[in-house]
């Protein structure tokens, strides 16, 4: 009788431990990852992208983009683009290739919910010039307003990702060298790269400086 009681008590204790253990995180309709694995990946991402994924002005490797608040679908698409060659970045290729589709979805869901304050520190006159360009474009050069695709608040639209709060250094570098990184595999066209390619080529350095400054101050 004592043996039966002891065995039953042990079983109940093991059941209690199992119920108390961290469960999986539901990231999509069928996608789940363990809390432990997700947190490990998040911490790794923050090493380069900032403690709240707000971006980081690093030396050597250049500015690291803000991930916080980025649209989930766009975030996942870009991780896939690094893996299949639509975007060229050796470091991000190595990072993204080890992520399962489930983990990509989990990370995208996590970062989409974050919304830290922008790093800021941009000259006001440059911000004003960038605001005008963002909202009006440059009709004389057949450049449409950025808000057409990225939304009036730059938090993303049906055809464009969130730009609000993005580091101006990163936006400037990206637009100045668009063709060097994106749309690299003609066999696997990237819709966002194709849309932006002619626009990026048409922008002047002054326009890029201004719009990058404006976007960096948006919350």
| Domains detected in the chain | 22-216 (1.10.760.10)
Check residue 109 and give its pLDDT: 96
Q: Are 83 and 96 in contact (CB under 8 A)?
A: yes
Does pTM surpass 0.95? no
Check residue 189 and give its pLDDT: 64
Q: Which residues of the chain have pLDDT under 70?
A: 1-31, 59-60, 183-184, 189
Distance CA 163, CA 69 (A): 9
Gyration radius from the chain CA atoms: 22
Q: Residues near 203 by Cβ (< 8 Å), separated by ≥ 6? A: 143, 175
Q: Are 88 and 180 in contact (CB under 8 A)?
A: yes
Check residue 17 and give its pLDDT: 34
Both structure tokens of 18: 């199992």
Where residue 50 falls (left for φ over 0; alpha for ψ -120 to 50; beta otherwise) is left
């Amino acid at each position: 009788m004592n043996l039966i009681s002891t065995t039953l008590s042990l079983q109940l204790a093991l059941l209690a431990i199992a119920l108390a253990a961290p469960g999986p995180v539901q990231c999509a309709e069928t996608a789940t990852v363990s809390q432990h694995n997700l947190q490990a990946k998040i911490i790794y991402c923050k090493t380069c992208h900032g403690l709240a994924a707000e971006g980081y002005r690093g030396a050597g490797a250049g500015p690291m983009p803000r991930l916080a608040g980025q649209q989930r679908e766009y975030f996942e698409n870009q991780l896939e683009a690094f893996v299949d060659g639509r975007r060229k970045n050796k470091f991000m290729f190595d990072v993204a290739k080890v992520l399962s589709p489930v983990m990509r979805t989990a990370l995208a869901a996590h970062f989409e919910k974050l919304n830290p304050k922008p790093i800021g520190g941009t000259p006001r006159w440059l911000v004003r010039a960038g605001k005008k360009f963002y909202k009006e474009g440059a009709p004389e050069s057949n450049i449409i307003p950025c808000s057409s695709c990225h939304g009036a608040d730059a938090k993303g639209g049906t055809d464009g990702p969130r730009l609000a709060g993005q580091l101006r250094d990163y936006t400037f570098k990206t637009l100045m060298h668009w063709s060097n990184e994106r749309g690299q595999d003609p066999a696997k066209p990237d819709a966002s790269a194709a849309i932006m390619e002619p626009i990026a080529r048409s922008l002047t350095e002054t326009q890029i400086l201004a719009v990058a400054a404006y976007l960096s101050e948006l919350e």
